[in-house]
Structures are given as C-alpha cells and as structure tokens.
A and B are shown apart, each in its own frame.
Chain A
Amino acid sequence: MEYFLTEEEKALKEKVRRIAEEIILPVRDELDKKAEFPREIIDRMAKEGLLRIFIPEEYGGTGARIMDMSIACEEVARICAGVATAYAVGALGSGPIIYFATPEQKKKYLPKVASGELLCAFGLTEAQAGSDVANIQTTARKVGDYYILNGVKQFISNCTIADVYVVLASTDKTRGARGISAFIVEKGMPGFEFGKHENKLGIRTSTTTELIFSDCRVPKENLMGKEGMGFIYTMRNFDRARPGVGAIGLGIAQGAYESALKFAAERNLLGNQYIQRKLADMATEIEAARALIYAAARAIDSGIKNTTKPASFAKLFPSDIAMKITLEVIELMGPHGLLREYNVEKMLRDAKITQIYEGTNQIQRGQIALEIIKECGYKKE
C-alpha cells in the first residue's frame, strides 16, 4: 500500500532491504543453527550508515526518528529477526543516553554509536524482575567518586558483543521504583562479567546472557541523568523503542507471508479458495500492522506528549499478528513448513519472542487499558 513515505524514507527502506538480502540472508540459517551472532554483521550495517539512524544529527546521526527505526527494523526482521533484535537493542541501549544523559556523556558516546564503533545494550531484567520492573535487586552504592554495583541481570540481549551497557540499579531500596538509577557501564570495567549464554527457542542469532556485577566500580560520571530517575527513563525509553519491536514482528510476518505465497504458487494452490482466504487475511493484517506502526512512529516523532498508548498499540498488534501469521503459514505449508530449509519454522520460533520482550503483550494491554480509563476520566477502582 502507498504510505506516502518521504523520498529519504523510501531510499532507507530500499537500502536496508538490499543490505539484509545481501549480507544477512546468506548466513541466517547457519547462525541460527549455531546460535551465533558475529559482530561483523553489525559492523557491515554500520558501514552502510544504518546505525546513524539511532542518533540525532548533532551527534553524527540522521535524526533518531522512530519512523526510520521502524522501517529499518521491519526490513532486517523480514530476513532475520535475531539480527533485527541485536540491531534494535543497539537503539534501545543508546536511547536513554540520547534523552537523559549529561552533555558530556552524549558527546563521549553518541558519535561513536552513530559510526558503529560502539554498540549498546540495555540491562534491566532480573530473575525476579520481569514484568515487575520496579522489583530489581541490583544495587548501586555510592562510595567516594564511584558507585559500587552488585547484582545479576538476566536475559540481556547483545551481551558480550556490545561495548556499552545502560544498567538499572537501585540506589535507594526504601524508595522502590523511585530509588532506581541508570548507569553507563562499559565492557571491561572491573567487576563486570558475563554469565551463561541462554539457549533459546528463537532469535538465536542474537546473544542473550546474564550480566554479573560483583563490586563493580563505576565512576560517578557514569550515572545517567539524576539519581532515582532510572525507572522513569526506562518507561520513556520503552515508549520510543516499542514501535521498533512491533516492526520486528511485522518483518517476521511479512517474511513468512512471502514464503507462503511462493510455496502456494509453486504448488499450483493459488486457485484454492481456502489458500486465497488465508493469504488475503495475512496481507490485510500485515498492512494494518504497518499502518499502525507508521502512525504511532509519526505521532511520537512529531513530539506528542503522551506516547504510551501509541507505543503499546504499535508493539501489541504487530507482534500478535506475527505469531498468528507464522502459525498459519506452518498450517498452510504442512510438513514442509517443519523443515529448516523452508525457513518458516525459524520465523515461527522467532515470532514468539515479540509477544514477550520489551513488555509482554499482557503488560501492553494493561498500559493501553489504563490510558483509556484515564482519558475517559474513569477510575480503575
């Protein structure tokens, strides 16, 4: 469908599609099998300027527009959602630096993120703090010119390959969510190590490990923004990142749909009304998801004040249709769909995570419901 993309956006879409097909497509199956993510892929993407789109112009980027991010994430995920995750997490990790860091921190990190010299990650989740983000147990104690970090982060994407980790830790346990602060931790800081590599159902081309902090000394200049603001930064950062996650779901759905269409054509099934119905539904859902993501991205880029609802819309619906469509494609392709060589089983495995990460779809529904209730002037209880 015609979405009236600007010339720059159209050019970006074409460029990312070309890069994804050229450099990711030939290796995605092998990387998925071995559960490996080579940093070289991100380096290649950086060389093509794809990491600049995370970053504002004044720091060497191209504007940090959510719209650009959504376009790029869809195109990468159409080929491989694991690589798209690694890419999007780079943006998720650099987001707080863009919006909440001190001018010195911005100058220090952002130009290098734009050029691809530094890759970011975001350390929030813990064993007991999944959906319940405020329940994090990692602590940061201020001693002289340092904060001493202790604790374990879990399921952190881009671990080991990223250079810069935005890490959430409690500086004041008595204050709960308002006692959480954000820190910029660099790979190699003493007391900062990686734990076990997770063996995952999907997005196996994206690394996931624990972050282990044992008396890790982080210079006080690496506190991001103000103490106690970490939770708020996180929520606002998520609002900016969620359309990108939705776009990963959209890319998976698009890739799976294209595979189904090709399969049906090769087997002369296109005259079958049952197949037609399935393809028509998939195509409709994909366009609806794309329109929703673009609308949310443009709204957030325009500077609207309350970004929560559009961001949650743009994550919830596309990830749900990614799951639905990949399941349908397996049904449509039958036993062929089970086989690695057709790639749709990978898309199915990858799709599942989009309903879970960066706020489960139950959390998104809760957020949307709360916003609706607030807008109407009703009360929850």
Chain B
Amino acid sequence: MELNKEILLLQGEIKKFAREVIAEKVDEFDKNGIFPIDNIKRLAEMGILGATIPETYGGCLLDALSLMVCLEEIGKVCPSTALIILTHNILFAYPLVRFGNEEQKKILSKLAAGEVIGGFAERSTNDLRISAGSDFYKISGSNPILLNGVADGPFILFIESDNSINAFVVDEKIPGVIRNKKDNIIGMNAGGITEVVFDNCLIPVNNRLGREGEGRFILEEITNFANLGFSAINLGISEGAMENAIKYAKERVQFGEPIINFGMVREMIIEMRTKIEAIRLLIYDAARLYDAQKDFILKAGIARYLSNRAAAEITTDAIQVYGGYGYMKDYPVERYFRDAQVSRVLCSSNIDLRELIISRTI
C-alpha cells in the first residue's frame, strides 16, 4: 500500500523533525515529566496542530491518512508527543469543528496556531456528582486522567445524567476547575496528563457541544476517529521498540556472537515485524476509507483491537531482547513498554471494541 508523493513528503519532514529534534530530549522529558511545549510549538508551525481544522478556521486540514502517518512517525520516537497531538486534534479540535457553534469555533484559529492546546477528560474515569439546572450544570468530583491537562487549555468533558450524555467545552472562564500534576500514571510521562478536580463548578449550558442529548453521538464520532489515532500511536510505539531491539541485538555480543544471530531472538523480531506490517495495513486502509467518506468504523475498531495487543506484546518482547538492560531506565525500551499501556486503553475499552466489532460482523 504505497503512499502518494504528498504524504511521503510530509512523512519525511515529520520523521526528520522527530529524529533530529524530538529525540534529543525524549528521555529527559520522560524522566522529569516535562511537557514538550517547544516541540509542540514547532509542530504548530509545521501545521500539525491544525490537522483537523479547515482553512476557513485558520487550520490546514490534513486527510486522515496523513495525520496517521504523522502520529506514527512521532510515536516511533516520542509516544507522549504523539498523544498530545492526537488529543489536541482528534479529541478536542475535531468535535469542535463538527459540532461546535460559531461562538465555540472562535478558538479554532488559536488551536491551529498552537497558542491554545486542547484537552480531553477520559470518560471512563470520571467520578462526578452532577445536578442539572436550567442554565448551568453543577459538577463536583474529579477525574484522574485529563489529557493535555498541563497545557491549561480548554477541554472536553462528557457529563452523564438522567440517561443522557452531553459533551461540554470546559474553558478558563469556568471557576472551580483545578488541575493537579500527580505522576501516578504508568506511562506517557511527558504527555501532560493531570488530575482534574471540579469544586462546585458551574458549567453554562451554552458550553454544551451540539444539542441536548447529542453527546452519545458525539462520543461515538470522537471514539471512532480516536480508534484510528490510537492505532497509529500503537503502531509508532511498536516500530520504535522494534527498531531499538534490532539495533541492540546487532550490537550485543554473547557466546562470542551478536545475539541477533540466535534463533530465539530472531523469532521475537519476526513476530514484531509481522504484527507491525499487519496493523499498518489495517490503519492505512481504515484511514483511506475515512478520507473517501466511506464506512471506516469497523476497520478502525479492528485496527485498534489488534494494535492494542501488538503494542503490548512487541514492547514486552523488546525488553526481553535487551535482557536485564531492557529493564533499566537508561535504555529506551522500558519507556515504550510503559507508554504502550496508556496508548492501548485510553478512550475506548476493549469491551467497547469487542461490541463494535461483533455488532458490525454478525
């Protein structure tokens, strides 16, 4: 499945940036939990922060395939950065473009320029008490996973009450929203995930995306696109881990020869490569369906389902190739392993994915 010239050019540009710039501080940022704001600004200059925003709103709308290729290339080097880009584009800007009113869309040009970074509160970890008024929703409680929380930008929060789901844009004008950086998540340390606490927070009904009760549909739309995006990060993580494992296996000498010569090491690499090629085809296929405005949902779900597993297995085996060294934070593979855990569970659970696949199969 060949990429066209334009995408290849973009891929080359992103790859170069990832390997020459992002790679430089990737370990330091992971270790100290630093949000890579300078790199994000540079990516904004390259148009990547407006990837889901039409030109009329100041963006430079990319096709889904191009965006997936970007997430893959960034994910190979720094999965945290890829997560920031995914969250901003797919989990925040995209629903705003699709469902926002003109007032809400005013922020899009700032998003595209990278002046504002959009966030997303993971729905499954919401622990909220909600009372609905006529003009406001009153919210108390917390959520331990606010994606891009460190960036202090607006974020999307799903509120469930009385059997209806609504999506809200929580912006800086709303008091009582407190973000705490807690370092309590296994991976994506540079991804700027925070806890968010709502202290008797009043969210105006005007901040709702779409009509009352439309949240369920919005959630599905976001999730389907995000399945594609997380698959691309899973793919990038898998490729980054394999690349490192191969490099190490060629250098590491035991029993008088490089360990890449040993069948049991080669076996692990064979498994990695095979899974990577399979998931890449699925992702590109689903992205092309999306771009052709055909039904991509099942394919994206399958890509996510398979790549969730592949990322877990490949990063586990990458550590195994390194042996004891792989278990040490001086080497990169344990980071890929931790990041893969985050990338494979956010946004849609595997129960959701199974239901999606079975309902569209039988």
B328 and A199: CB pair below 8 A?
yes
User: In the complex the two chains form, what is the Cα distance from A341 to B186 in whole Å?
Assistant: 11
Query: Which residues of chain B have C-beta atoms less than 8 A from A199's C-beta?
Result: 328-330
Query: Which residues of chain B have C-beta atoms less than 8 A from A366's C-beta?
Result: 264
A349 and B329: CB pair below 8 A?
no
- Which residue in chain B gives the minimum CB-CB distance to A129? B254
Nearest first, the 6 closest Cβ-Cβ pairs linking A and B are: A132-B254, A340-B184, A345-B186, A201-B334, A199-B329, A362-B264
CB-contact partner of A330 in B319, B323, B341, under 8 A: B341
13 contacts between A and B (CB under 8 A): A128-B254, A130-B325, A131-B323, A132-B254, A201-B338, A274-B350, A327-B316, A331-B350, A338-B345, A339-B185, A348-B186, A360-B323, A362-B264
Query: Which residues of chain B have C-beta atoms less than 8 A from A336's C-beta?
Result: 124-125
A251 part of interface (Cβ distance < 8 Å): no
Secondary structure class of chain A's binding surface, majority of residues: helix
A323 part of interface (Cβ distance < 8 Å): yes
B312 and A327: CB pair below 8 A?
yes
A-B pairs with beta carbons under 8 A, tally: 109
- 17 new A-B contacts, CB < 8 A, other than A339-B185, A360-B320, are A125-B324, A130-B254, A130-B323, A132-B255, A199-B329, A274-B350, A331-B312, A331-B350, A334-B345, A338-B186, A339-B125, A340-B186, A341-B184, A345-B186, A345-B341, A355-B320, A366-B264
Query: Which residues of chain A have C-beta atoms less than 8 A from B253's C-beta?
Result: 128
Q: Which residues of B contact A (CB under 8 A)?
A: 122, 124-125, 144-145, 184-187, 253-255, 262, 264-265, 308, 312, 316, 319-320, 323-330, 334, 337-338, 341-342, 344-346, 349-351, 354
A338 and B329: CB pair below 8 A?
no
Assess A335 versus B328: contact at CB under 8 Å? Given A201-B334, A362-B265: no
Fill in one digit per residue for A258-277: 1 if any B CB lies within 8 Å of its CB, else 0: 00000000000000101100
A47 part of interface (Cβ distance < 8 Å): no
Query: Which residues of chain A have C-beta atoms less than 8 A from B185's C-beta?
Result: 338-340, 345
User: In the complex the two chains form, what is the Cα distance from A355 to B318 in whole Å?
Assistant: 12
A339 and B254: CB pair below 8 A?
no
A331 and B344: CB pair below 8 A?
yes
B323 and A201: CB pair below 8 A?
no
- Which residue in chain B gives the minimum CB-CB distance to A327? B312
A339 and B144: CB pair below 8 A?
yes
Query: Which residues of chain B have C-beta atoms less than 8 A from A154's C-beta?
Result: 324
CB distance from A34 to the nearest CB of B (A): 12
CB distance from B273 to the nearest CB of A (A): 18
A356 and B328: CB pair below 8 A?
no
CB distance from B142 to the nearest CB of A (A): 12
A365 and B354: CB pair below 8 A?
no
B186 and A335: CB pair below 8 A?
no
A335 and B346: CB pair below 8 A?
yes
- Which residue in chain B gives the minimum CB-CB distance to A345? B186
A155 and B324: CB pair below 8 A?
yes
- Which residue in chain B gives the minimum CB-CB distance to A351? B316
CB-contact partner of B308 in A135, A331, A339, under 8 A: A331
CB-contact partner of B187 in A198, A275, A338, A357, under 8 A: A338
CB distance from B154 to the nearest CB of A (A): 21
- Which residue in chain A gives the minimum CB-CB distance to B320? A355
A272 and B342: CB pair below 8 A?
no
A352 and B345: CB pair below 8 A?
no
A201 and B337: CB pair below 8 A?
yes
Query: Which residues of chain B have C-beta atoms less than 8 A from A332's C-beta?
Result: 350
User: In the complex the two chains form, what is the Cα distance from A98 to B186 in whole Å?
Assistant: 41
Query: Which residues of chain A have C-beta atoms less than 8 A from B316's C-beta?
Result: 323, 327, 352
Query: Which residues of chain A have C-beta atoms less than 8 A from B124's C-beta?
Result: 334-336
B186 and A349: CB pair below 8 A?
yes
User: In the complex the two chains form, what is the Cα distance from A365 to B125 in whole Å?
Assistant: 41
User: In the complex the two chains form, what is the Cα distance from A341 to B195 in whole Å?
Assistant: 13
User: In the complex the two chains form, what is the Cα distance from A193 to B312 in whole Å?
Assistant: 38
Query: Which residues of chain B have C-beta atoms less than 8 A from A360's C-beta?
Result: 320, 323
- Which residue in chain A gives the minimum CB-CB distance to B316? A323
CB distance from B204 to the nearest CB of A (A): 28
Query: Which residues of chain B have C-beta atoms less than 8 A from A323's C-beta?
Result: 316
- Interface positions, chain A 94-137, Cβ under 8 Å from B, are 125, 128, 130-132, 135
User: In the complex the two chains form, what is the Cα distance from A360 to B345 in whole Å?
Assistant: 29
Assess A353 versus B327: contact at CB under 8 Å? Given A132-B254, A338-B187: yes
CB-contact partner of B337 in A132, A200, A337, A352, under 8 A: A352
User: In the complex the two chains form, what is the Cα distance from A202 to B328 in whole Å?
Assistant: 9
User: In the complex the two chains form, what is the Cα distance from A335 to B120 in whole Å?
Assistant: 14
A361 part of interface (Cβ distance < 8 Å): yes
CB distance from A334 to the nearest CB of B (A): 5
User: In the complex the two chains form, what is the Cα distance from A352 to B337 in whole Å?
Assistant: 10
CB distance from A256 to the nearest CB of B (A): 13
Query: Which residues of chain B have C-beta atoms less than 8 A from A132's C-beta?
Result: 254-255
User: In the complex the two chains form, what is the Cα distance from A256 to B314 in whole Å?
Assistant: 21
- Interface positions, chain A 349-378, Cβ under 8 Å from B, are 349, 352-353, 355-357, 360-362, 365-366
Query: Which residues of chain B have C-beta atoms less than 8 A from A352's C-beta?
Result: 316, 319, 327, 337
- Interface positions, chain A 180-222, Cβ under 8 Å from B, are 198-202
Q: Which of B327, B328, B334, B349 is most buried by chain A, counting CB atoms within 10 A of its CB?
A: B327
Query: Which residues of chain B have C-beta atoms less than 8 A from A200's C-beta?
Result: 327-329
User: In the complex the two chains form, what is the Cα distance from A355 to B124 in whole Å?
Assistant: 32
CB distance from B116 to the nearest CB of A (A): 25
B329 and A274: CB pair below 8 A?
no
A356 and B324: CB pair below 8 A?
yes
User: In the complex the two chains form, what is the Cα distance from A103 to B289 in whole Å?
Assistant: 76
CB distance from A366 to the nearest CB of B (A): 7
User: In the complex the two chains form, what is the Cα distance from A327 to B341 in whole Å?
Assistant: 8
